Amino acid sequence: MNTLISLQLLLVLHLIGLALMVGTTVVEYITFKTFAKLFDTERERSCSLLYLMKKLSVLLGIGAALLIISGSGLLIITGGVFAHQVWFQIKLLLVLALILNGFMVGSRQEAKLKNSMDIDVMQSMNAIRNLKIFYLVQMGLFFTIIFLSVFKFS
Ligand code: HEM
């Protein structure tokens, strides 16, 4: 397979990964906001939304794996030229921030929410507020990463 076709195929995979990850994050955010609205008044219905979010996180993982594998392939196939460019270095830092925010804030607050739901309403409300901020930060990071990747400022 020639280099151009490999590059194009990797780019297609990269963009599919991007669509899966960003799309799933937006759907999770909307689902979470609906959960937060129902939390006080219709606890049982709101719990089924948390279950849906757990299912969605599988898609998020697939998107992340596709992005990282195809991104590494793109980097290798282009001879590592991007690795020396500032936009790419900032992009990788932001990708790292995205991952760290996901594990250190998102997963932790979700666990806190699940553990406190039937016991401590104050703690649940706290976790809900933090999770709303978490989703906004993730979407902001995605937007900046896409912006940097397209404009490739050097
Ligand atoms: C959330 C994570 C990521 C997002 C949203 C993202 C998004 C994008 C977008 C929108 C492009 C532009 C495609 C085009 O020029 O048509 C791109 C290009 C690129 N990405 Fe990513 N990317 C991500 C992660 C990664 C990672 C982890 C790597 C490397 C390890 C990587 C390596 C590259 C490279 C090398 C290009 C340039 C390809 C080229 O122009 O030939 N990306 N990315």
Domain boundaries, the chain: 3-151
pLDDT in 10s for each residue of the chain, 154 residues: 799 999 999 999 999 999 999 999 999 999 999 999 999 889 888 999 999 999 999 999 999 999 999 999 999 999 999 999 999 999 999 999 999 999 999 999 999 999 998 888 899 999 999 999 999 999 999 999 999 999 998 7
Report whether 33 contacts 46 (CB < 8 A): no
Ligand 1 touching residue 144 (CB < 6 A): no
110: left (phi over 0), alpha (psi -120 to 50) or beta: alpha
Q: What is the DSSP letter of 146?
A: H
| pLDDT number for residue 154 | 75
Ligand 1 touching residue 76 (CB < 6 A): no
Q: What is the pTM of this model?
A: 0.93
Report whether 106 contacts 131 (CB < 8 A): yes
| Centre of ligand 1 from the C-alpha of residue 108, in Å | 28
Which atom of ligand 1 is found nearest the CA of 145? 5
Which atom of ligand 1 is found nearest the CA of 141? 1
